[in-house]
Amino acid sequence: MTTRRKFLTTAGVGAVGAVATGLSTPVRADAKIKWRMQTYAGSALAEHVIKPAIESFNKIAGEEMQIELFFADQLVPTSELFRAMQNGTIDAVQSDDDSMASPTEVTVFGGYFPFASRYSLDVPVLFNQYGLKQIWEEEYAKVGVKHISAGAWDPCHFATKEPIHSLADLQGKRVFTFPTAGRFLTQFGVVPVTLPWEDIEVAVQTGELDGVAWSGITEDYTVGWADVTNYFLTNNISGAWAGSFFANMERWNALPDNLKELLTVCMDQSHYYRQWWYWGGEASLRVNGTKMQLTSIPDAEWQTVEDAALKFWDEIAAESEVKAKVVEIFKRYNADMTKAGRPYRYT
């Protein structure tokens, strides 16, 4: 099978430009400022997680500024997004820190840091009320990148071809997942596999992958993974994916204040859209979805995974002062939520 990514790496420059332009979103030709943004998401998922916000921004900004949106791996592979943004090849990025291999102390906490959150609202509270926003801004400023804002996506569940009823069933399962999540899951026998996002569906069909631990059920249905997997594990290793919007610092600083404010507002609207889209979808598709059968690992057995996560936190905290500071915030926040009780935490 010839994937678009393989074609882009072997085609001529003219062909690359034609393919990229054909798949990106159109922008006004008379715009004074033009940016290129690439998202981690493929086209089907981008319809929800980013495209509406960019369309709103372009409509409001008009001739002042336009953003051309590119999808997963369209200009560069996701693992090269940070470097491309840092050197100005791409002006802005939507991704988690982990997937785009950010060279920062906070990279491991992007995507799915095991059990750092239970619900999607945990993420914006951690950033805006518990101090993560300032830490992220400082760490990215050190490497010439503007951290615009962070928000929550869906929880992290396994979608597999074979049923998972116990931790033993995870042994040897080849799974597409995030770097840090994969590092954590290896202790339970999971074999993390890294592939281009657009190749995952075919890899599951051919047996190269046994499943994915990349998303919740809404995303499984949206991107087609529910068509090639048979089972959805209701246990999750995180309540919400933590992702952000970033920009090349020089390009950001060159924007007039009104466009900085507009861009921030549109990104916040994107975060809000995802809050209700994922939250409603996760429940509705569990109840009404017909493509995957739900399975569960008993709570008492799953507690082993939650206990292992706390040890994993301490391992990460021992790596640097910044990481220790973030882990301490996670511990304090989760302790507060547990003390607060329902509906914040169910004990």
pLDDT in tens, 93-147: 999 999 999 999 999 999 999 999 999 999 999 999 999 999 999 999 999 999 9
pLDDT value at position 24? 67
Judged by DSSP in three states, 254 sits in helix
**DSSP 3-state assignment of 310?**
helix
Residue 140 pLDDT: 98
Domains and CATH numbers, the chain: 19-106+124-152+242-282 (3.40.190.170), 156-239+288-340 (3.40.190.170)
The number of CA neighbours under 13 Å toward the Cβ of 36 is 16
Q: Does pLDDT of 5 surpass 50?
A: no
pLDDT per residue as tens digits for the range 149-175: 999 999 999 999 999 999 999 999 999
User: In the chain, what is the straight-line distance between the N-terminal and C-terminal CA atoms, in Å?
Assistant: 49
> Is-contact 163 130, C-beta < 8 A?
no
**Residue 109 structure tokens:** 């906490």
> Which pLDDT score is estimated for 347?
65
pLDDT surpasses 90 at 2: no
Per-residue confidence (pLDDT) for residue 1, from 0 to 100: 32
How much of the chain exceeds pLDDT 70, in percent? 93
Find the DSSP H helices in the chain: 4-10, 13-23, 43-49, 51-61, 81-86, 122-128, 132-141, 179-185, 200-206, 217-223, 249-254, 257-288, 299-317, 321-340
Q: Does residue 246 or residue 196 have the better pLDDT?
A: 246
70: exposed, middle or buried (C-beta count within 10 Å: 0-12, 13-18, 19+)? buried
pLDDT surpasses 60 at 306 = yes
pLDDT in tens, 190-234: 999 989 888 999 999 999 999 999 999 999 999 999 999 999 999
**pLDDT tens per residue, range 9-44:** 333 333 334 344 445 677 888 889 999 999 999 999
Q: Can you give the pLDDT at residue 23? A: 57
At 247 the pLDDT is: 98
What is the pLDDT averaged over residues 69-91?
Answer: 95
Separation of alpha carbons 50 and 24, rounded Å: 13
Q: What is the structure's pLDDT at 197?
A: 84
Mean pLDDT of all residues in 237-250: 97
Query: What value does the mean pLDDT take over residues 304-322?
Result: 98
Average pLDDT over residues 242-271: 98
CA distance linking residue 19 with residue 7, whole number of Å: 9
The pLDDT-based confidence of 300 (bands split at 50, 70, 90) is very high
* Whether the predicted pLDDT of 89 surpasses 50: yes
Q: Using CA atoms, how far apart are residues 58 and 225, in angstroms rounded to an integer? A: 31
> How much is the pLDDT for 134?
98
- When the pLDDT of each residue in the chain is averaged and rounded to a whole number, the result is 92
Cβ atoms within 10 Å, residue 216? 26
**DSSP codes of every residue in 171-240:** TT-EEEE-HHHHHHHGGGT-EEE---GGGHHHHHHHTS-SEEEEE-HHHHHHHTGGGT--EEEEEEEES-
